[in-house]
Amino acid sequence: MQFSLPEIRPKEWIHRIKEEFFPPRILDKYVFSEFIKIFIGALITLGFLALMSSYSDIKGDMASSKGGKIHGWLFILFRLPQMLIQYILNIAILFSVSFTVGQFSANKELVAMMAAGISFRRIVAPIVAFSCVLWFAAFFLKQTVVAPLNARANEEHKMLKEGDQNTLVGVVYQKHFKGQEGFYYIYYYDTKEEEIKGGFNYICLTQEQTPDYLLVAQRAKFNYQKEVWILKGVEETKFDDDLQVVSVQKFAEKEYKLPEKPEYFKKLKGSVEEMNFFELSEEKENRIRKGLSYGDVDIAKHTLFAEPLLIVVLTLVGCASGFFTKRMAIVSSLGVSIGVALLYMVMDPSFKSLGENEVIPIWLASWITPILFLSGLYVIYKRLKV
């Protein structure tokens, strides 16, 4: 028995699409016009609610800020595109599609359209096509607009917190670093004074990868003229080939010539939300070189592609829920929107957490949520037979 794949003829597909959709039919214009009005209204409403929620989150910081309230408003403004792409757009399109198709179903317009010989898939085709355009637009905006604005938002938040005695912004972090000749443990790097405070620990390894000596200091500052580290309150422990302690000495201050300079210990570039695909790739290589974990970076790289796809998935969910609506479309739409949004908000972070902790592959952690939704939709639409 011979198996043959169907012949793919792009020219025929393009011609068929052109004949079917261009120019748009009266039905396409009617369906899309009803949908877009509700979609724009949902965007405005949800955007206003997001602004109010953001203000509520930082109004305490704004009231006690010594850096100026203007930084709080700028933080909200620069953070809005991230909320738009990640939350507002998804919920708005789910609600508007579910409500629009639900209204058609409740008013028997859907029955009339299908009685005229038009399939359900053809009826909702303009809306699905619009969601595909939004998918590509969201991906492009995340790369070119959202990532740099997230960085600006974080900078404004730091300025807002300036002068808060209870907060150290941008300097506190405890990290292990893999150096050229050993390993470091840094408590935090003060970027203003260019000094490591709270603890500077270094273990130097021999060529056989056994401990040579251990340094434990309270502070460390690099002297650029001499190109040496000046350690304060340092304890120096030396080992022999059998890993036995040879000597333990304490110094109030001592100079050491170590392979790494201060730039090596400065805080990582920032949140993965501030980086595009190429910056994430560079950040991964940087972390591998320093011996740091990079699970969140891999998750973010996959999310750049997987997250915008949710727009199309939720559009298909809205079409299916609207098809089964009999009455009270707005109540049904709200219920579906809230239920699906909550389900996504539980599933997506949970799977990503499993991926970061290497319980499941990172690619699966990023793509499993849209895959599960699409699988369920495939079953539903197959049973519809419309």
312 vs 136: CA distance, rounded Å: 10
pLDDT one-digit tens code per residue, 302-316: 888 888 888 888 888
Among 237, 259, 281, identify where a domain stops.
259
User: What pLDDT is recorded for position 182?
Assistant: 84
User: What pLDDT is recorded for position 175?
Assistant: 72
Among 259, 285, 307, identify where a domain stops.
259
Average pLDDT over residues 31-44: 91
Residue 227: domain span: 180-259
To the nearest whole percent, how much of the chain has pLDDT over 70? 83
Q: Are residues 27 and 144 in the same domain?
A: yes
Contact indicator for 326, 105 with CB cutoff of 8 Å? yes
Q: Are residues 25 and 151 in the same domain?
A: yes
pTM greater than the 0.75 cutoff: no
* Residue 318 in domain: yes
Write the CA distances from 351 to 247, 354, 358, 368, 372, integer angstroms: 49, 5, 11, 8, 12
Q: Which residues contact 171 (CB under 8 A, 6 or more apart)?
A: 188, 189, 190, 191, 192, 267
* Residue 273 in domain: no
Q: Are residues 30 and 156 in the same domain?
A: yes
Q: Are residues 57 and 159 in the same domain?
A: yes
Which of 303, 300, 256, 308 lies closest to 282 in space, CA to CA?
A: 300
Question: Tokens 């995340």 sit at which residue?
Answer: 142
Q: Are residues 149 and 207 in the same domain?
A: no
User: What pLDDT is recorded for position 169?
Assistant: 45
* Residue 80 in domain: yes
Examine the pLDDT at 269 and tell me if it is beyond 60.
no
* Residue 10 in domain: no
Which of 68, 119, 101 lies closest to 326 in space, CA to CA?
A: 101
* Residue 43 in domain: yes
* Residue 38 in domain: yes
* Residue 285 in domain: no
Contact indicator for 315, 135 with CB cutoff of 8 Å? no
Q: Which residues contact 377 (CB under 8 A, 6 or more apart)?
A: 313, 316, 317, 320
Q: Give the distance from CA 166 to its chain's centroid.
A: 28
* Residue 193 in domain: yes
Q: Which residues contact 136 (CB under 8 A, 6 or more apart)?
A: 308
pLDDT one-digit tens code per residue, 337-381: 778 778 877 888 888 888 877 788 888 888 888 888 888 888 877
User: What pLDDT is recorded for position 41?
Assistant: 92
Q: Are residues 238 and 315 in the same domain?
A: no
pLDDT one-digit tens code per residue, 146-203: 878 887 887 777 777 764 444 444 444 567 777 778 888 888 777 777 788 888 888 8
DSSP 96-154: HHHHHHHHHHHTTHHHHHHHTT--HHHHSHHHHHHHHHHHHHHHHHIIIIIHHHHHHHH
The token pair at 94 is 């789910």
As for how many domains the chain has, the answer is: 2
Q: Are residues 29 and 143 in the same domain?
A: yes
User: What pLDDT is recorded for position 298?
Assistant: 79
Q: Are residues 332 and 184 in the same domain?
A: no
Among 210, 240, 259, identify where a domain stops.
259
Q: Are residues 33 and 75 in the same domain?
A: yes
User: What pLDDT is recorded for position 170?
Assistant: 44
Q: Are residues 158 and 184 in the same domain?
A: no
Q: Are residues 205 and 247 in the same domain?
A: yes
Q: Are residues 153 and 191 in the same domain?
A: no
